[in-house]
Structure 1
Amino acid sequence: MDFTNPLVYGVPCFLGLILVELTYSKAHNHKLYNWKDLGSSLFMGIGSVILAPLIKTISAIVIFNYLYELCNPIVNGVRTNILGYQSFGYAWYVWVACQFLDDFTYYWFHRQNHMVRFLWAAHIVHHSSENFNLGTAVRNGWFTIFYKPLFYMWLPAIGFPPEMVVVCLGIEALWQFQLHSVYIPKLGVLEKVFNTHTMHQVHHAKNLEYMDKNHGGFLNIFDKIFGTWKPLDENIDIEYGVTKPPNSYNPLVILTHEYKDIWNDTKKSANWYHKFMYVFGPPGWSHDGSTLTIKQIRAQQLQKK
């Protein structure tokens, strides 16, 4: 069965919706967009559009297909998983299951981008803007797409067709794009199930109480199960961005500044464990306490109370 990645149609819609939101914000004198910041976001978004098809072709055709064929050989004319059950077809409930498991995978992929500094160095690009708008939605790091497929390899391995996984990834990306809007209020009963616009505002905030929260894709169930869910408190003034911003509109600086900081930090100690932790430990970790992780800062705050 052949399917088209939804992002083929999504990209023109992204640009159109950015234009609509930009026009609306300017007409109502909302300081939602900064021209230089938007230019940086669009440059990185265009770069992702160019790079993504190349990497996704490799991941979908080579990695996903290889694993699917390896773990789901045809036995007596029937594609059968190595665990002994018949591999999944294209029934509607299989699509639902694939999308749900895609969301579960996205949660852990996204959470690890915040927990492992080397991954954060790629993901920080998306959080580096001090603006929250649809332009920020396309502000994606170019290096994330090199390792993202690795988190999803288990889906074709257990029997989901590779093209189904790719389509579910595309649907997930469409949902994530439209979450980047301040114009959508809380959605009532939908807030109990879905990851919504106000929840994603929380995710992009650099307020201490909001940091490293709401990693979900479609749903908020995994944030609730694993303790990372936080609803928007309308009494808190949100500050968007990161605590250590690149302070530049140069796309190359935005894309690489955290890697430079990691390199400089590894030179602070001759101990190889310390060097390892500066690369693969949580952001903010330091061997001498000169910088702290979010968990350490929160623990300090609790001790002071």
Structure 2
Amino acid sequence: MEILFDQMPNPFTYFVPLFFLLIVAEAYISYREDKELYSLKDSLASTWVGLGAAALNTLTKAYQIGLFFLFYQLFEPMRVEFLGYENLGWAWWVWVLCLIGDDFNFYWHHRFCHTIRIFWAAHLVHHSSEKFNLGTAFRNGWTIFLYKPIYWIWMPILGFNPVMIALCMSFNSIYQFFLHSTLVPRIPVFGQIFNTPWVHQVHHARNIEYLDRNHGGILIIWDRLFGTYMDKDKHLKTEFGVLHPPTKHDPLTLNFHEFNDIWKDVRSVKSWKAKFMYVFGPPGWSHDGSRKTSKMLQQEWLQQQKATPTQKEEQAELVAQ
């Protein structure tokens, strides 16, 4: 285990210069064409959050790999007895399966990050920016590394080498860096299978109709298969960020303010069911109906779209009152 871990290359080392050059290029284009893709305050927040995430990811890498190796070795006798092999090896087709399996895991990990509040608290920082640029890709939650590997446990159990799994996870993260830009147009054929910046804008949008869509990493087919895909409407102005943005933009607030809000909500109710829902229910759930989940907001939005002009005026008057 130690030999394999020590020998494992870090793909990010080779891509950091490219990431830096692309961010500089995007910022230059933004300045030249007055697109306002970047702001100093937002960029500083992304930088500090990204540096903290990179440090924590490095510190927890041994824990992730160790966890994978634990299940990899623990289930080896069962693989030999019931499946007839010790491990899947390093053949090219195993790499392909590993990449597909990794992306499948990422989809469900990412989807649950948007539909379970405690996981949303860890992931929210990635959506906290009202700008959508390549620098946003580095806004990763500091606590997400603690539970993320759980979704990948089945892979070492089946015999995928833990180092291979870790490398595929890195390749997935590298690919996703390139998704965070508004300068890339729709890519017709490629975009039918693979995730692109065009549809990833939908994922980062706070428009009601766009909420909780397009969770895929490399592949967009998971969203098509599981009913979460939505194409970007070129006629609709995309608004980025979260519905209830934090009041401060320091890295500690961005990473932990939602955990603090969860704690306040849990303490505010006596019912154990309500306490459970405030932690594991969907973001926006409340025991008294004072807040709304994304599904509730989208249902209201759909009703408004179906309403006649007179009904819309009446609804607007009720809201104003």
One fold, TM greater than 0.5? yes
Q: Give the drift of 1:298.
A: 2.0
Amino acid of the residue matched to residue 82 of structure 2?
A: L
Q: Which residue of 2 aligns with 1:66?
A: 70
Q: Secondary structure at the match of 2:189?
A: helix
Q: Which residue of 1 aligns with 2:204?
A: 204
Q: Secondary structure at the match of 1:147?
A: helix
The alignment yields a C-alpha RMSD, in angstroms, of 1.5
Q: Which residue of 2 aligns with 1:140?
A: 140
- Assess, with a 3 A threshold, how the Cα gap between structure 1 residues 247 and 83 changes in structure 2: closer, same or farther: farther
Q: Give the drift of 1:216.
A: 0.3
Q: Give the drift of 1:231.
A: 0.7
d(CA) in 1 for partners of 2:69, 2:271 = 42
Amino acid of the residue matched to residue 210 of structure 1?
A: Y
d(CA) in 1 for partners of 2:32, 2:235 = 27
Q: Compare 10-19 and 97-106 and name the one that shifted more.
A: 10-19
Verify the 8 A CA contact 1:132 1:182 in the aligned structure 2. yes
Verify the 8 A CA contact 2:208 2:301 in the aligned structure 1. no
2:97 matches 1:97: yes
Amino acid of the residue matched to residue 30 of structure 1?
A: K
- Could you list the per-position Cα deviations for residues 127-165 of structure 1 after superposition, in whole angstroms to 9, with x for gaps in the alignment? 000000011110111111111111111111111001100
Q: Which residue of 1 aligns with 2:295?
A: 295
Verify the 8 A CA contact 1:123 1:144 in the aligned structure 2. yes
Verify the 8 A CA contact 2:209 2:301 in the aligned structure 1. no
d(CA) in 2 for partners of 1:301, 1:21 = 34
Amino acid of the residue matched to residue 13 of structure 1?
A: L
d(CA) in 2 for partners of 1:196, 1:260 = 34
2:66 matches 1:27: no
- Structure 1: which 5+ runs fail to align? none
d(CA) in 1 for partners of 2:245, 2:224 = 29
d(CA) in 1 for partners of 2:250, 2:51 = 15
Q: Which residue of 1 aligns with 2:187?
A: 187
- Could you list the per-position Cα deviations for residues 48-79 of structure 1 after superposition, in whole angstroms to 9, with x for gaps in the alignment? 1111111011111x201111111124x9xxxx
Alignment of 1:114-193 (within 5 A): 114-193=114-193
Q: Which residue of 2 aligns with 1:85?
A: 84
Q: Which residue of 1 aligns with 2:261?
A: 261
- Could you list the per-position Cα deviations for residues 177-217 of structure 1 after superposition, in whole angstroms to 9, with x for gaps in the alignment? 11001111001111111111111000000001101000001
Q: Compare 41-50 and 259-268 and name the one that shifted more.
A: 259-268
d(CA) in 2 for partners of 1:103, 1:82 = 29
Verify the 8 A CA contact 2:127 2:204 in the aligned structure 1. yes
d(CA) in 1 for partners of 2:92, 2:51 = 34
Verify the 8 A CA contact 1:5 1:166 in the aligned structure 2. no
The aligned length equals 299
Alignment of 1:213-252 (within 5 A): 213-252=213-252
Verify the 8 A CA contact 1:81 1:158 in the aligned structure 2. no
Verify the 8 A CA contact 1:48 1:142 in the aligned structure 2. yes
Q: Give the drift of 1:249.
A: 2.0
Amino acid of the residue matched to residue 35 of structure 1?
A: L
Q: Give the drift of 1:5.
A: 2.9
Verify the 8 A CA contact 1:81 1:159 in the aligned structure 2. no
Q: Give the drift of 1:81.
A: 4.4
d(CA) in 2 for partners of 1:195, 1:219 = 5
- Structure 2: which 5+ runs fail to align? 307-321
d(CA) in 1 for partners of 2:15, 2:269 = 46
* TM-score, scaled to structure 2: 0.89
Q: Give the drift of 1:8.
A: 2.8
Q: Give the drift of 1:168.
A: 0.3
Q: Compare 250-259 and 235-244 and name the one that shifted more.
A: 250-259
Alignment identity in percent? 45
2:13 matches 1:8: yes
2:58 matches 1:53: yes
Q: Compare 277-286 and 20-29 and name the one that shifted more.
A: 20-29
Amino acid of the residue matched to residue 216 of structure 2?
A: G
Amino acid of the residue matched to residue 178 of structure 2?
A: Q
Q: Compare 125-134 and 147-156 and name the one that shifted more.
A: 147-156
d(CA) in 1 for partners of 2:167, 2:80 = 21
d(CA) in 1 for partners of 2:244, 2:19 = 28
d(CA) in 1 for partners of 2:108, 2:161 = 21
Q: Give the drift of 1:83.
A: 3.2
- Answer with 1 or 2: which has the greater Rg: 2
